Amino acid sequence: MRRGLFLLFFCAIALLGWAQRTEKGNFMMKKGVIPKGYNFWVYTPAEYETDRHPLPLVIFLHGASLCGNNLQRVRRYGVLDAIDRGKIIPTLVVAPQNPGGAWNPQKLNDLLEWTKANYEVDSTRIYVLGMSLGGYGTMDFVATYPQKVAAAMALCGGCSKSDVSGIGQVPMWIMHGTADRAVSIKQSERVVNQLKDLGQDALLRYDWVQGGSHGLLARLFYLQKTYDWLFSHSLNDRPRIVDRHFDITREDIQQTYQELKFLPSMYDHD
C-alpha cells in the first residue's frame, strides 16, 4: 500500500511539476499539462504569492542550444537565470522548452491561454523575449498573434513567416550583432526591410551592435533597460506607440557583464 502511494506521489510530481520557493518568488516546473504542448517553467514573484493580483507576463524563448527534454537546461541563461542571479522582475514569467525544431506559434498560444486560465495575468501586458531560435520564435509568434502582445524583443533571430505584417502592429525591438557567425544579421535586416517596404515600421526599433558576436546579446536578459522598455508598453495604449526613450548601447551590455561577473563561456550558445 505504501509503495503504491509512493509511486502515485512521484507520478503526480512528474505530471504536474516540481516547485522551488525562494525569497524572490516561486519556480514551478510543468510537464505534460498541455496535451501535445511544450513543457515549461512558471515563475511567480513573491508579491503574487501574497495577494494574487493580476501581473504582466513575460514569455521567454530560448535558443537552439537549450532544446531537449531536460527543463533544467532552460535556466542556463535568459530570464530565469537573471532572476536566479538577483535580477528583480516583478512579473509572471513563462519559459517553455522546445524539444527541437522551430518554435510553433500555435503551441505558444496554447501555453499563453493555459497560463491565463491558471494564473492572474494582466492580458493587456504580455511580452515576448527571445534569442537566436527564440528570436525567430518571437517574431513568428508576434506575426501570428499581434493582437495579444503588448511589446516584444527579438535578439539575433529572424522570421520564418512570409507575411510579416503582424509584426508591424506591435512595438518590436530587433537587435543583432554585426559579427554574428551563428545567425547572419541579414535575417534581421530582411524583416526590417520588409516592414519598411510595407510602410509598417512605425512601431519598429532596430539596432545593429557593431562587432557584436552571437552570444554577446544574451547579456541583454540581465539588463534592467530591457525590462523597463518592455513594461513601458500596454495593449491599452491609444494609439499604439513604441517607446524610444530607452537606448541600449554596447557600453550598457559591457557594464552588465562586469557587474555580474559573467564568464565568457556562458555565451558559447545560441
Kindly indicate whether the domain formed by 19-267 is annotated with CATH number 3.40.50.150: no
Question: For 226-251, how does the pLDDT look when each residue is reduced to its tens digit (9 = 90+)?
Answer: 999 999 999 999 999 999 998 998 88
Question: What pLDDT sits at residue 47?
Answer: 85
Question: What pLDDT sits at residue 56?
Answer: 98
Per-residue DSSP letter, 246: -
pTM: 0.90
Q: Residue 77: which of 216, 231, 239, 246 has the closest Cα? A: 216
Question: What pLDDT sits at residue 270?
Answer: 62
What cell was used for 57? Answer: 507576463
Positions of the chain with pLDDT under 50? 4-16, 263-268
Burial 200-215 (b: 16+ CB within 10 A, else e): bbebbbbbebeebbbb
Spans of all domains in the chain: 19-267
Question: What pLDDT sits at residue 20?
Answer: 76
Q: Residue 166: which of 184, 152, 155 has the closest Cα? A: 152
Q: Residue 222: which of 45, 71, 81, 40 has the closest Cα? A: 81
Contact 93, 75 (CB under 8 A): no
Question: For 93-140, how does the pLDDT look when each residue is reduced to its tens digit (9 = 90+)?
Answer: 999 999 999 999 999 999 999 999 999 999 999 999 999 999 999 999
Pairwise CA distance, residues 132 & 221, whole Å: 13
